[in-house]
């Protein structure tokens, strides 16, 4: 009974958390319409995923206007450790985006399970 409730709770979120390899595979397959980097400017300047859109601190600013009109597009968010990407995914969900994916953080990709460094 508890397992069923836990399962229902994890699927009730409006976004999907992707593990490292799954996220990389979806990037390789050009699955996402928009890939959003929600890190700080200095982190972005140090390197970011190809074709990423920079929306600094989306989770705080809630300024998603650059991607307005794409509420039903597959959108992925990522950050450095996964904390900001989760918060940004919640912001997008609350704003009516229906296909949001949390790609976690680049430190997880580099930490062993992610297939090496991010493809900057």
Which CATH number is 41's domain given? 3.40.250.10
Q: What is the model's pLDDT at position 9? A: 37
| Residue-number span of the structural domain to which 99 is assigned | 14-110
Top-ranked range on mean pLDDT: pick from 33-42, 59-68, 105-114: 33-42
Question: Does residue 60 form part of some domain?
Answer: yes
Question: Does residue 47 form part of some domain?
Answer: yes
Give CA–CA dist 56/107, Å, rounded: 18
- With a threshold of 0.95, does the pTM exceed it? no
Count of structural domains within the chain = 1
Question: Does residue 55 form part of some domain?
Answer: yes
Q: What is the model's pLDDT at position 72? A: 92
Q: Biggest alpha carbon distance in the chain? A: 48
Question: Does residue 120 form part of some domain?
Answer: no
Q: What is the model's pLDDT at position 65? A: 83
Give the CA radius of gyration of the chain: 14
Question: Does residue 20 form part of some domain?
Answer: yes
CB 80 within 8 A of CB 44: no
Question: Does residue 5 form part of some domain?
Answer: no
Question: Does residue 118 form part of some domain?
Answer: no
Q: What is the model's pLDDT at position 12? A: 47
Closest CA to 85 of 62, 102, 65: 102
């Amino acid at each position: 009974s508890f397992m069923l409730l836990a399962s229902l709770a994890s699927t009730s979120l409006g976004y999907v958390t992707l593990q490292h390899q799954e996220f990389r595979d979806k990037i390789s397959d050009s699955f996402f319409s928009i890939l959003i980097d929600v890190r700080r400017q200095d982190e972005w300047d140090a390197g970011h995923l190809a074709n990423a859109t920079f929306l600094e601190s989306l989770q705080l600013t809630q300024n998603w206007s650059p991607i307005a009109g794409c509420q039903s597009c597959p959108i992925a968010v990522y950050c450095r450790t996964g904390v900001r990407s989760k918060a940004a995914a919640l912001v997008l969900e609350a704003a009516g985006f229906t296909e949001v994916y949390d790609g976690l953080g680049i430190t997880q990709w580099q930490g062993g399970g992610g297939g090496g460094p991010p493809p900057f």
